[in-house]
C-alpha cells in the first residue's frame, strides 16, 4: 500500500525506529542509581522511568523502563545510547537540540551530534506525537535539573 509518503508516515515508522521500539537499548532499571524520575503522559497514558548513575558530572550508566508507543519507546532508547558516558551538561545540551528538531528546526535535524535520534525528525510533522518523542528527554531534563 505505498503512498509516496506525502503523509510522512513511512518516515515516521522507518526501520530504525521500529527496531528501537522492538529491541530497546538500555531497557530496565539500575540496581544502583543516582537519579530516578518517573514521568507520564496523562493524555495517552505513556509511562516512563529513567535511572541515571552519575559519576561526578558524567552519566556513567542509564536505563529506562515503562511502556508507550513506538515513538516514545524508540526515542527513549535512542536517547540512552546518546547520553551514556556524556557529561550532564552535554546531555542537557542535546536535549535542547532534540527539542529544536522536534519543533521543526531543519538545522537541528542535520546536527550529527544527535546521532540516530535524528531519525525522529519526521515526528515534527505529527504535533500530537511530539510529546511522545519528548517523554524520555523530559525525564532526563527533570532528573538533571538541580545538577550543574
Partner 1 sequence: MRDVRSDFPILHREVHGHRLVYLDSAATTQKPRQVIDAIVEYYSSLNANVHRGAYDLAVRATEAYEAVRAEVATFVGAPDPNGVIFVRGTTEAINLVASSLGRVRVQKGDTIVVTAMEHHSNLIPWQLLAEAREAHLVMVELTADWQIDLAGYRRALERSPKIVTFTHVSNVLGTINPVADLTRLAHDAGAVVLVDGAQAVPHMPVNVAALDADFYVFSGHKMLAPMGIGALIGKPALLDAMPPYQGGGEMIRTVHDTSATYAPLPHKFEAGTPNVEGAVGLGAAIRYLDALGMDEVAAHERALARYALERLATIDALTLYGPAGDRAGVVSFTLADIHPHDLATIVDSEGVAIRAGHHCAQPLMRRLDVAATARATFYVYNTREDVDALVAALEKARTLFGYAHA
Residues found near partner 1 in the complex (CB under 8 A) = 1, 6-7, 9-10, 12-13, 18, 22, 40, 42-47, 67-71, 126-129, 132
Show Cβ contacts of residue 36 under 8 Å, excluding neighbours closer than 6 positions: 49, 50, 51, 52, 143
CB of residue 90 to partner 1, shortest distance in Å:
28
CB of residue 67 to partner 1, shortest distance in Å:
5
CB of residue 82 to partner 1, shortest distance in Å:
22
Whichever of 40 and 53 has its CB closer to partner 1, that residue is 40
Whichever of 77 and 83 has its CB closer to partner 1, that residue is 77
The rounded distance, in Å, linking the Cα atoms of 126 and 10 is 13
SS3 41: strand
CB of residue 58 to partner 1, shortest distance in Å:
31
Nearest CA-CA partner of 25 in 78, 103, 94: 78
Strand 58-67 and strand 46-55: the pairing is: antiparallel
Whichever of 66 and 114 has its CB closer to partner 1, that residue is 66
CA distances from 25 to 3, 20, 80, 109 (A): 31, 7, 7, 22
Whichever of 38 and 96 has its CB closer to partner 1, that residue is 38
What nine digits make up the cell of 62?
Answer: 542509564
CB of residue 13 to partner 1, shortest distance in Å:
5
Whichever of 10 and 110 has its CB closer to partner 1, that residue is 10
Amino acid at each position: 500500500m505505498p503512498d509516496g509518503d506525502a503523509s510522512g508516515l513511512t518516515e515516521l515508522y522507518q526501520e530504525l525506529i521500529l527496531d528501537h521500539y522492538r529491541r530497546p537499548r538500555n531497557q530496565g532499571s539500575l540496581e544502583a542509581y543516582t537519579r530516578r524520575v518517573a514521568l507520564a503522559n496523562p493524555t495517552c497514558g505513556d509511562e516512563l522511568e529513567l535511572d541515571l548513575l552519575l559519576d561526578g558530572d558524567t552519566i556513567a550508566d542509564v536505563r529506562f523502563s515503562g511502556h508507550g508507543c513506538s515513538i516514545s519507546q524508540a526515542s527513549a532508547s535512542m536517547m540512552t545510547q546518546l547520553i551514556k558516558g556524556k557529561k550532564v551538561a552535554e546531555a542537557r545540551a542535546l536535549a535542547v537540540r532534540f527539542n529544536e528538531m522536534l519543533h521543526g528546526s531543519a538545522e537541528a535535524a542535520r546536527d550529527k551530534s544527535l546521532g540516530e535520534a535524528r531519525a525522529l525528525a519526521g515526528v515534527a510533522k505529527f504535533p500530537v506525537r511530539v510529546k511522545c518523542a519528548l517523554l524520555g528527554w523530559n525525564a532526563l531534563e527533570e532528573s538533571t535539573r538541580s545538577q550543574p
